[in-house]
Structure 1
């Protein structure tokens, strides 16, 4: 009888999970798509900001990265508010305010206003991604989270694949209505974010029990398996500060920081690297820059699916990080443009594809309010890397005159990240969290 109930429960949970994925992941992807589009479209405007406003490469790198300072500092308090008022309300608020500020980028007059609006944009958007990750812990069982996070990461990948060519076309509106092309870019890509925020308010339930399109049994089984309190109540203190002190949390945050130094720097400087390959058309620059998005997209689709069959998280993380080191080194050693374009894709595959793994690993030991605080803390550390990466890329370009010199930053950051992986494995083992056991349990549950 117990086996029959377990079997029925597994089937009900599987069906409810699929229904939840179809209903809420598109909304989560839409909001994250717009956030990535609005924070990175400045990369397409880099050359024109220099020509029209005199913003240098170093100043651009600082302005591109300074977005992440306010974003990072407010991550934990923002996500604690999301835990208190519900992620739906907070995500909608975030979207409306950052959409308005993104459109306000059209009023930039020089370096000071550029820095100011970028800082305000980061403050407005603070807490978005950890709020989405917190929602994942409320809706989905641990065995499904790597896949769900991978689906969410499709959004920024598509923002690069689709957004860069569209942004290139918008840049060609220069002179229409008396506006520069970059002003049209910020205006047209900022306003739709406000509409997406309104849609989130009306359509995104906080948790399964709030969803009218789920039956009571479906909602119950989703919530029971998403946060198995009984399995964790005796393992961790309910105090959310404990999540911030855990060595594994800090270490995975540092590895994520180094990843963001590499990935965010690459994203913000790819268009200028392409332009220095003697590509002049804004549309072609945007189109070829989309190669980073293609590699990112392939990575977030493939890496989580392999992860479900891997028994050792840290070993898998080490392999992916080593792949990033090798691909960046290969880029540095060749001047053949076709090979460099391919290596853009490969480098982004490893740098972007590994992202769902960080969150899936963290969610194994972070639950409830600890998830709200711990995931935000990890994102805070990573976002500081989002500031450091573009700034270092900008300094490298100012010193050498070549945007591609920033690939040295990718190599250095990735090597440091690789060195931290064994320490993470040791921390996980010493805390009794286990590395192989959780994934093996997934395999057994699915077989």
Structure 2
């Protein structure tokens, strides 16, 4: 039963932390996928094929992959405030430098460096939330934080489309203005993080002594209740459940970045202006925000994670298949809405799983491993769509490919759940 003090403390830390980190993630996501809008004019200006664009857009995740685990371990050691500030300022500078792209080499190099700069931000926030919120409340809080991704699409799409219309001002192309202007908030908020973010509950001067003592004790008890053997870094890296969750996340990442990077071009193929592409691309994201929060709250209320991940992955896969046969803008919008809802809704219950069996350095390493390996789907999905588009002249084959990855994610989730159930049964029989 929830006490009045628990309700009061959790409400206070939710209002203090969650809106702020949502803004940070919204900025991150816009800088990560605005390349999809830049492509509407940049590809023609610089002579990029679909394959070159797909590889360049996706190569972000190779840099992300290589530096994710070290970055998250540093965050665990030096604290979220300093490290997240460093991450945001450096990625803002690199994102703005995308305006200097002149050819394939500079395109690939800057996208790779953007991944290096941003590595550690997302898993760092997931780890940070585990310092402040009990596991039973984490899916709903994670959903609020991750709602910033579809919100970024809803808000950023019209803005990006409008910025493309600045073509020619002061001799710069519209896509160059877009990169420069959308990079500024990352640098500004990187500085704000240094003054606003609190590393741990013990340092939260904005809580009363009684509230702070309750929160510290509650989180320490939860940490103590986890499996002691899983506290080492290597335990987090080598746990088979971490590898399974990485594979599940791989499919959802392929779906997410297929949307972020290719949806503008899919919509543009119906002959719309860049501004109207931005407006239409924002609509499915609005429904995704609602679906994600409702689905996560239901997952927390029932305590069920597996089928909430499976159902969402299958919905997204069905949307991608439907998109291959869409012949009107309205049909494409319906298909993209299904994909947006499915991809977004799958993530909060999925991210509630690792901190159920990992803590301490193992949680830092495990979460970063899931995110870094899983985000390689962000390289494979968009890259394959570009290559298949150049080969076949159609988006259909690539969309089928990403749909298949999402089905695999659903199947692996069921296998992981069955293994966990068998392990729980075996442990219970030994104890009795």
TM over 0.5: yes
Give 3-state SS (helix, strand or coil) of 2:385's partner.
helix
Partner of 1:385: 377
Q: Matched residue pairs, number?
A: 426
Q: Taking structure 2 as the reference length, what is the TM-score of the superposition?
A: 0.94
Matched, 1:352 2:344: yes
Matched, 1:140 2:133: yes
Contact conserved, 2:252 with 2:409, CA < 8 A, in 1? yes
Partner of 2:321: 329
- Deviation at residue 234 of structure 1 after TM alignment: 5.0
Partner of 1:395: 387
Q: 1:24-173 alignment to 2 at 5 Å?
A: 24-173=17-166
Partner of 1:255: 248
Q: Distance in 2 between matches of 1:241 and 1:51?
A: 47
Q: Distance in 2 between matches of 1:173 and 1:31?
A: 26
Greater displacement, 366-375 / 218-227: 218-227
Greater displacement, 209-218 / 402-411: 402-411
Give 3-state SS (helix, strand or coil) of 1:74's partner.
helix
Give 3-state SS (helix, strand or coil) of 2:198's partner.
coil
Partner of 2:429: none
Gaps of 5+ in 1: 1-6, 435-447
- Deviation at residue 261 of structure 1 after TM alignment: 1.2
When residues 324 and 79 of structure 1 are mapped into structure 2, their CA distance, relative to the original with a 3 A threshold, is same
- Deviation at residue 418 of structure 1 after TM alignment: 2.0
When residues 221 and 431 of structure 1 are mapped into structure 2, their CA distance, relative to the original with a 3 A threshold, is farther
- Deviation at residue 347 of structure 1 after TM alignment: 1.3
Contact conserved, 1:141 with 1:222, CA < 8 A, in 2? no
Q: Deviations over 1:142-196 (max 9, x none)?
A: 1110011001012111110010100111000000011000110000000121000
Q: Distance in 1 between matches of 2:97 and 2:148?
A: 23
Q: Distance in 2 between matches of 1:256 and 1:417?
A: 7
Give 3-state SS (helix, strand or coil) of 1:82's partner.
helix
When residues 312 and 256 of structure 1 are mapped into structure 2, their CA distance, relative to the original with a 3 A threshold, is same
Gaps of 5+ in 2: 427-432
Q: Deviations over 1:285-324 (max 9, x none)?
A: 1111113422431232121011023343223322222222
Partner of 1:425: 417
Q: Distance in 2 between matches of 1:374 and 1:339?
A: 40
Q: Taking structure 1 as the reference length, what is the TM-score of the superposition?
A: 0.91
Partner of 2:14: 21
Q: Distance in 2 between matches of 1:23 and 1:145?
A: 15
When residues 411 and 320 of structure 1 are mapped into structure 2, their CA distance, relative to the original with a 3 A threshold, is same
Greater displacement, 157-166 / 210-219: 210-219
- Deviation at residue 433 of structure 1 after TM alignment: 9.8
- Alignment match of 1:246 (pick from 231, 239, 247): 239
- Alignment match of 1:407 (pick from 399, 405, 411): 399
Partner of 2:208: 215
Q: Deviations over 1:103-128 (max 9, x none)?
A: 00010001100000001110000000
Q: 1:302-321 alignment to 2 at 5 Å?
A: 302-321=294-313
Cα RMSD for the two superposed structures = 1.8
Partner of 1:11: 4
